[in-house]
Structure 1
Amino acid sequence: MVRVGLTPERLTRAGAELADEVGFDQVTVSALARRFDVKAASLYSHVKSSQDLKIRIALFALEELADRASEALAGRAGRDALVAFADTYRDYARQHPGRYEATRLRLDSETAAASAGVRHAQMTRALLRGYHLTEPDQTHAVRMLGSVFHGFVSLELAGGFSHTEVDSQESWLWTLDSLDALLRQRSTL
Structure 2
Amino acid sequence: MVRVGLTPERLTLAGAELADEVGFEQVTVSALARRFDVKVASLYSHLKNSQELRTRIALFALEELADRVADALAGRAGKDALAAFANAYRTYAREHPGRYDAARLRLDPATAAASAGVRHAQMTRAILRGYDLTEPDQTHAVRMLGSVFHGYVSLELAGGFDHSKPDPQQSWDWIIDSLDMLLRNRPTDN
Does TM, scored on the shorter chain, surpass 0.5?
yes
Residues 72, 8 of structure 1: CA spacing in aligned structure 2 closer, same or farther, 3 A cutoff?
Answer: same
Q: Which residue of 2 aligns with 1:27?
A: 27
Question: For the residues of structure 2 that align with 1:139 and 1:128, how far apart are their CA atoms?
Answer: 10
How many equivalent residue pairs?
188
Question: For the residues of structure 2 that align with 1:73 and 1:132, how far apart are their CA atoms?
Answer: 18
Answer whether contact 1:72 1:88 (CA < 8 A) is retained. yes
Deviation at 1:163, TM superposition (A): 2.8
Per-residue displacement from partner, 1:66-121 (whole Å, max 9, x unpaired)?
A: 00101111111000000000000000000000000000000000100000000000
Question: For the residues of structure 2 that align with 1:109 and 1:183, how far apart are their CA atoms?
Answer: 30
Displaced runs of 4+ in structure 1, greater than 6 A? none
- Superposed, 1:114-125 pairs within 5 Å as 114-125=114-125
Answer whether contact 1:132 1:187 (CA < 8 A) is retained. no
**Unaligned segments of structure 2, at least 5 residues:** none
Question: For the residues of structure 1 that align with 2:179 and 2:47, how far apart are their CA atoms?
Answer: 42
In structure 2, the residue corresponding to 1:105 is in which secondary structure? coil
Q: Which residue of 1 aligns with 2:126?
A: 126
TM-score between the two structures when normalised by the length of structure 1: 0.98
Per-residue displacement from partner, 1:145-185 (whole Å, max 9, x unpaired)?
A: 00000000000000011131311000000000000000000
Q: Which residue of 1 aligns with 2:55?
A: 55
TM-score between the two structures when normalised by the length of structure 2: 0.97
| CA RMSD after TM alignment | 0.8
State the identity %: 81
Q: Which residue of 1 aligns with 2:150?
A: 150
Structure 1, 68-77 or 161-170: larger mean CA deviation:
161-170
- Superposed, 1:1-189 pairs within 5 Å as 1-186=1-186
